[in-house]
Structure 1
Amino acid sequence: MTEWCRLNLHRPFRAQHAHLSRVIRGHCAYYGISGNGRRIRWYHHQITRIWKKWLARRGRHSNLPWSRFRAMLARHPLPTAKIVHQYAVP
């Protein structure tokens, strides 16, 4: 994800948001099984942290505090990390 964010730094915010939303949804669809919730949440957190880091490098003064980034995420939230496939052990 770091490499993708670095290479697509010039893309508009909404385009980056749309791509990262698809990445998170796809990751949860594949790895979102019972018992894997902790790692799914960790992956979501890492995506958020990496994206914030690279968004902060876009401007001339390169400052994006967490409060401003959280406000951006409130307007354009990323999908939540959730378990998609439930299974029961017999």
Structure 2
Amino acid sequence: MREPKGSQGVGVKRKTSRKKYQASILRCKEWIKRNRHMPVKELMKALRVKLIGYYRYYGITDNSNALYRYGRTVNKLLFKWLNRRSQRKSFEWDKFEKLLAKYPLPPPRIYVNIYERKPC
């Protein structure tokens, strides 16, 4: 892989701090736990808005791994807490995937490319 012209092969990678990542996961977990009683359609719509907000805030160059990890963790938390809506198990993983197909959550996306040149 070639380096950009004028580059010395050295760069700074940006990624979400561990502390902020864990705090975001905890907040999301508590929110899902408190709102799991909502109808699934409304719950998924609200969670979608929250995920888009997270991706817009942390979606900067070099941070895609953290965004994908956050999305996977939120999926697992959603599966866990939707299964605790009653005493019986509500979802098997394949049924949960069908739910995600019906109400898709947004994929992680990089919104800010710091290497993109802006006109002066």
Map of 1:36 onto structure 2: 63
Map of 1:12 onto structure 2: 39
TM-fit CA distance, 1:63: 4.0
TM-fit CA distance, 1:59: 2.9
CA RMSD across the alignment: 1.6
Cα deviation 1:21-80 (Å, max 9, x = unaligned): 011100111100010000001111111110110011113312411100001101111011
Map of 1:55 onto structure 2: 82
Moved over 2 A (4+): none
Q: Identity of aligned pairs, percent?
A: 29
Structure (1/2) with the larger helix percentage: 1
TM-fit CA distance, 1:89: 8.2
Structure of greater Rg: 2
Residues 70/88 of structure 1: CA separation in 2 closer, same or farther (3 Å cut): same
> 2 CA distance for matches of 1:41 and 1:18?
19
Q: TM-score, normalised by structure 2?
A: 0.70
Map of 1:45 onto structure 2: 72
State whether structure 2 residue 105 is matched by structure 1 residue 78: yes
Structure with the larger RCO, 1 or 2 (CA within 8 Å, 6+ apart): 1
Equivalenced residues, count? 90
